[in-house]
Structure 1
């Protein structure tokens, strides 16, 4: 591979990781303006889904002929709803680290849904990731390492949902790429939108304010997310899967450093140790998956990109 192409691919991946690492900031800004994270997630991903339809008009018909892709839509939607709400309500660093336990859940789900055996190395990765989670969750003066609030729970749920999304992608890999991409992007408005409407009706979530500048902000957020995913599409198509996963770990660094710098997260030694163990488990999973036929480990938050990338090969 030419050096310039390789550097360009890495730069595209770093752009994607930076956007996702900073995504908590616009979500919190919108929340402060009265737009709940569920509403902003539903609206921004609706724009992304519309872009997929515009680029692949056949996706709608293909999706109607493949009802089994509803599971991917639900898993993808739960991923984005949980992660975005988690970084809005909880400690950003803890939420991101707990979300990155995804390879642990993926290994367990692959055993149940695909019949895949993890092997000894997989068990060690599982234990390593769980040890990291224990370090992150173990609060000072507490006996049990248990989630400390909604943010922790949402980070764990988001990571588990993303693992399910990836496993279902592999299970339905023969379905049209455009249909899978539309299912994944469309899961945002499906899940987050349904939750937003239901919780707003119940008085738990505030309805969006009257039309104003926030609409443009949500549209810009959706456009940036789509651009970031296109960056991943470009980079992941030109680099080995293990290198892609390595570069995408920059999301953790960006999220942690920005949250700490802006005073929304407090660094602790336990979080640093636990985060290191989780990242190491992710890297080992990427290394083990580098030779897999489906391209290895998908990068967290890159929902919909792998399907589009394979559809253009």
Structure 2
């Protein structure tokens, strides 16, 4: 993705989001260089157990998770972050394969750089990086495959393992999550696989503490979205005029993050010639993080054309990782 394409899309999404009702901005824009670093800090906080729970599962079960994949297999990670989790899964494959092709997909150049450095510790790994949205990056990563039996193009002749970890699926509402999994399946052949990480439903107090930590790191992560608009789009938003707020929506099983205006104000974004008025207490909705029951993850995958090969649940019941195998498609008439 070219820088100008990325900036143009950011401008268009900010314009549309701030003119919407309710106002909203996509969480993908959290992850500039500073935002990526802040998220890495969040993952170290004692009140945010998601990353540690997932890592515990991967450390214990990585060999089982990649056991079905042999010579010629490749890995595509959507939303690579620091690459530490990917390295845990790639390591057992590196021990038994002469070569492993890995494709990194992320909108953050910082995340791509971090992942490249992490994977450089492993032998016989060939890394390709795609700065793109998930669907675009997956298509680019699989574009050179020859057509398979189900007619899907998309690396060499071996199976592809797609990683969608960190409960990134939780950032999508249920309809968007279903559509996303269907798009992933459409890019794969029968026998390819998706390893899907999902955060599980927990007590509300525990969830809210994870998204509104006492140190204020999550608040800084959320407010950095406004700072990014200032830096890149020529705005002059007073960050002190907005508060970070996390809300547990029990009916929809999601944590919502908002930036709440502390007073009546007008913000100006010069790069897109936009003025936006806020009432006191009016918010910008920046993220929804959906939580799941284990069976819901399996059913979601099955509806998209996968079958569940195996599911692992962290000992404390905080997190699940599910290996979904792409099934044969019905023959076209």
* Both structures adopt the same fold (TM-score exceeding 0.5): no
Greater relative contact order (Cα < 8 A, sep 6+): 1
TM-score calculated relative to the size of structure 1: 0.27
TM-score calculated relative to the size of structure 2: 0.25
Q: Answer 1 or 2: which has greater strand percent.
A: 2
Structure 1 or 2, whichever has the larger Rg, is: 2
